[in-house]
């Protein structure tokens, strides 16, 4: 007999607002301690000095984490000019200094160079693994490693405010973008150096500040939150892919890992109405449902539905 998993059967998302001063892992641990789910994970790490959106997946929602990690993000951040630091943020020690301070016009003229697809070298203090070790562990031990540049995508980068020593920005960017590297590289281009002194993640795909849950709610010993108060549906992470409703027999076959083939005209019309181009050559990713339950994420290849993530809800 299979051993029953420990914890509560909870499937969904918590849109957590992580405060400054704790790691993403510590924030996750606080949520787990209160809700006690069978499984949990977060979609995208935030540095201890950063605040903002930390989406936390519970139960079967952990199967949708990659879709959140791949989504676009909005960051609000402030760059302090005049220093380059070891960590590229306020936590590090100064490596280089400059008395020069850029004008708003000079900063604004630089922004086109940092939009679109750009090459970026991650910070020395990052979670990237090198020969099995985290880069930040090597850096903390005094080592220096050569991290390879990577291509990242920044759709928009705009100035929110500017003063003599600081400039505040908002960036709308894709997966893998390091805002600390962005600050470092802009400072070098301007010839004044720079580091992140404030960083807030304002959104991760469908998760935004407007409906985020404060970590304080999970730390209130007298009034612990219920899942109904803090939980978003499992399919919250999949809001931008087509949704195809299944019949009961179809749902059962898909949950067993079988490929579904749609041949009849009504079935093909059902796919078209769901926004799935079944007669094309491209593979389309879709969410299948039965009633209110998510059944599986599928790859639609012509008239065939291939399950790639099956949900046990």
The yes/no answer on whether domain 12-70+207-237 falls in CATH 3.30.2350.10 is: yes
* pLDDT for residue 125: 58
* 3-state class percentages of the chain: helix first, strand second, coil last, to nearest 5: 25, 35, 35
From-to residues of CATH 2.30.130.60 in the chain: 241-310
| CATH domain 241-310 topology | 2.30.130
* pLDDT for residue 251: 95
* pLDDT for residue 274: 87
The single-letter DSSP state of residue 232 is: B
Which regions of the chain are under pLDDT 70? 1-3, 124-146, 280
**Annotated catalytic, 240?**
no
* pLDDT for residue 292: 87
pTM above 0.85, yes or no: yes
Here the tokens at position 27 are 């924030």
From the list 11, 47, 88, 89, the catalytic residue is 47
Here the tokens at position 139 are 């850096």
Backbone angles phi, psi at 127, to 5 degrees: -85, 5
- CA pair distance 285, 308, nearest whole angstrom: 9
* pLDDT for residue 2: 56
Angle CA(90)–CA(93)–CA(98) in degrees, nearest 5? Answer: 85
Strands 194-204 and 73-81: antiparallel
* pLDDT for residue 30: 96
* pLDDT for residue 136: 55
Strand partners, 41: 57
From-to residues of CATH 3.30.2350.10 in the chain: 12-70+207-237, 73-204
The yes/no answer on whether domain 73-204 falls in CATH 3.90.79.10 is: no
- CA pair distance 126, 87, nearest whole angstrom: 9
């Amino acid at each position: 007999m299979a051993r029953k998993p420990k914890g509560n059967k909870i499937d969904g998302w918590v849109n957590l607002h992580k405060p400054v001063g704790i790691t993403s892992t510590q924030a996750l641990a606080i949520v787990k301690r209160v809700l006690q789910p069978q499984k949990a994970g977060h979609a995208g790490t935030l540095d201890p000095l950063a605040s903002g959106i930390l989406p936390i997946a519970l139960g079967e929602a952990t199967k949708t984490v990659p879709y959140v990690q791949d989504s676009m993000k909005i960051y609000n951040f402030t760059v302090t000019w005049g220093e380059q630091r070891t960590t590229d943020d306020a936590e590090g020690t100064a490596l280089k200094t400059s008395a020069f301070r850029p004008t708003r016009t000079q900063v604004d003229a630089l922004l086109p160079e940092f939009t679109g697809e750009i090459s970026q070298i991650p910070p020395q203090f990052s979670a990237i693994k090198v020969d099995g070790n985290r880069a930040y562990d090597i850096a903390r031990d005094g080592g220096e490693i050569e991290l390879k540049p990577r291509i990242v995508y920044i759709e928009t980068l705009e100035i929110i405010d500017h003063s003599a020593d600081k400039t505040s920005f908002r960036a709308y960017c894709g997966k893998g973008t390091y805002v600390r590297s962005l600050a470092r590289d802009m400072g070098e281009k301007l010839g004044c150096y720079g580091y992140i002194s404030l960083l807030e993640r304002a959104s991760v795909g469908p998760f935004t500040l407007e409906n985020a849950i404060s970590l304080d709610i999970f730390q209130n010993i007298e009034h612990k939150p219920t899942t109904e108060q803090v939980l978003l549906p499992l399919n919250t992470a999949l809001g931008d892919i087509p949704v195809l409703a299944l019949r009961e027999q179809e749902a059962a076959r898909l949950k067993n890992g079988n490929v579904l083939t749609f041949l009849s005209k009504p079935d093909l019309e059902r796919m078209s109405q769901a926004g799935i181009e079944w007669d094309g050559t491209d593979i389309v990713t879709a969410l299948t449902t039965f009633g209110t339950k998510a059944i599986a994420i599928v790859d639609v290849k012509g008239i065939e539905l291939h399950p790639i993530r099956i949900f046990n809800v």
